[in-house]
Amino acid sequence: MAPAVRLRALDKRYPAVHALRSVDLVVEQGEFFALLGPNGAGKTTLISLLAGLARPTGGTAEVMGFDVVRHYREARRNLGVVPQELVYDAFFTVREMLQFQSGYFGLRRNEAWIDELLENLGLTDKADTYTRTLSGGMKRRLLVAQALVHKPPVIVLDEPTAGVDVGLRQSLWAFIRRLNCEGHTILLTTHYLEEAETLCQRVAMLKAGQIVALDRTANLLHADRDLKLVLKLDRTVLPESLSGQLVEQQGDRFVLALPEYGQLEAVLGTLRQAGVRIEEMELRQADLEDVFLKLMGQGS
């Protein structure tokens, strides 16, 4: 069985930028996979290459076993992309947009699936509304529906919840989870790292066009054993003996690094001896954002 996505030494150069540098990556069918990285890391370039919007300078990219250059029709038929930008035709209704999108893939009797998409994405009451009158959140829902209208086995979500409300975010993820459970492969890029941590089984992190981390989400979190002790104290000065563990301070709130759980009692004992009263306390393990910042060289 061919992987959902396979990249071999994928390279992309622009006149002033080396956007991707010999990237190797395999995403298996049925995975919920996160592709993370700061702005300019190469995520959108990678997606553009998969979607046929740009051609690689070197290497190959495949979707469901089809080379995106040599077998571009089959590759595109197996891929649905939700772009970052709000792209729509202002002179058509929501339903007309989905009907036209179906036609691009040769689907003539697709009304039942269109109706299901409209219902699951909260667009049923907007079906006959011109797209130009939709709110930003509704336009983003329409982009998702367009990407899914031909039931592609591989779905790429490029920042799908950027700027949308909590209600849409929850309903969208419920629907995408359902599609993943039904066998669709999901490739997600997002700056909301808690989404990736919750949803994705594996994570790849891009930096300057290269993959700097690739592993199961649980393994990445387990590898970073750093603990942080968040304290709200009755004063704004920390005892001198604890200053070496200070990570961050905001007024009377202090974040201390704890290499291991056993050091917690020592910190509490120091505070008691100094007569410092703890008003709030939280012991926090590293999350995906901590791992990301450390790998990108932005951590403390």
Tell me the residue length of the chain: 300
Question: When comparing pLDDT for 52 and 218, which is higher?
Answer: 52
Strand, coil or helix: what is 23? Answer: strand
Domain identity same for 188 and 114: yes
User: Residue 300: inside a domain, yes or no?
Assistant: no
Model pLDDT, residue 150: 95
128 with 93: CB under 8 angstroms?
A: yes
Q: Is the pLDDT of residue 283 over 90?
A: no
Q: 300 pLDDT band (50/70/90 cuts)?
A: very low
Q: Quote the number of domains for the chain.
A: 2
The reply to whether 109 and 215 lie within a common domain is yes
Residue 90 carries which DSSP code?
T
Tokens of 17: 């930028």
Instruction: Name the least confident of 165-179, 232-246, 282-296.
Output: 282-296
Average the pLDDT over each of 7-16, 75-84, 105-114, 248-257 and give the range with the smallest value: 248-257
Among residues 125, 149, 146, which one has the least CA distance to residue 135?
A: 125
Whether residue 233 is found in the same domain as residue 192: no
User: Is 266's pLDDT higher than 50?
Assistant: yes
Q: Which pLDDT does position 260 carry in this prediction?
A: 77
Domain final residue, candidates 222, 237, 260: 222
Do residues 19 and 73 share a domain?
A: yes
Instruction: Reply yes or no on whether the pLDDT at 298 is more than 60.
Output: no
| pLDDT tens-place string over residues 214-227 | 999 888 877 656 67
Same structural domain, 272 and 190:
no
Radius of gyration of the chain (CA): 23
Residue 181, exposed/middle/buried by CB under 10 A (0-12, 13-18, 19+)?
A: exposed
> Which CATH number goes with the domain that contains 186?
3.40.50.300
Mean pLDDT of the region 139-161 = 92
Give the range of the structural domain holding residue 200, as residue numbers without chain letter. Answer: 5-222
Q: What is the pLDDT of residues 125-137, one digit of tens each?
A: 999 999 999 888 8
| pLDDT given at position 299 | 45
Q: What is the pLDDT of residue 224?
A: 59
- Judge whether residue 259 has pLDDT over 50: yes
Which one of 180, 207, 222 terminates a domain? 222
Burial 99-119 (b: 16+ CB within 10 A, else e): bebbeeeebeebeebbeebbe
Q: Are 128 and 92 in contact (CB under 8 A)?
A: no
* Range with the poorest average pLDDT among 117-126, 220-229, 269-278: 220-229
User: Is 171 strand, coil or helix?
Assistant: helix
CATH of the domain at 233: 3.30.70
pLDDT by residue (tens digit) across 59-118?
999 999 999 999 999 999 999 999 877 777 788 999 999 999 999 899 988 999 999 999
Question: In the prediction, which pLDDT does 223 show?
Answer: 64
Domain boundary among 222, 257, 284: 222
Cβ–Cβ < 8 Å for 31, 4: yes
Query: Is 82 exposed, middle or buried, given 0-12, 13-18 or 19+ CB atoms closer than 10 A?
Result: buried
Residues 14-24, mean pLDDT to the nearest whole number: 94
Whether the CB-CB separation of 203 and 240 falls below 8 Å is answered with no
Nearest to 210 by CA among 12, 6, 50, 4: 12
Name the helix (H) or strand (E) containing 250: strand 246-250
Q: Which of 30-39, 160-169, 201-210, 273-282 has the lowest mean pLDDT?
A: 160-169
**What is the C-alpha to C-alpha distance for residues 162 and 139, in angstroms, rounded to an integer?**
12
Query: By C-alpha distance, which of 100, 94, 88 is closest to 150?
Result: 100
The predicted model gives 221-249 an average pLDDT of 83
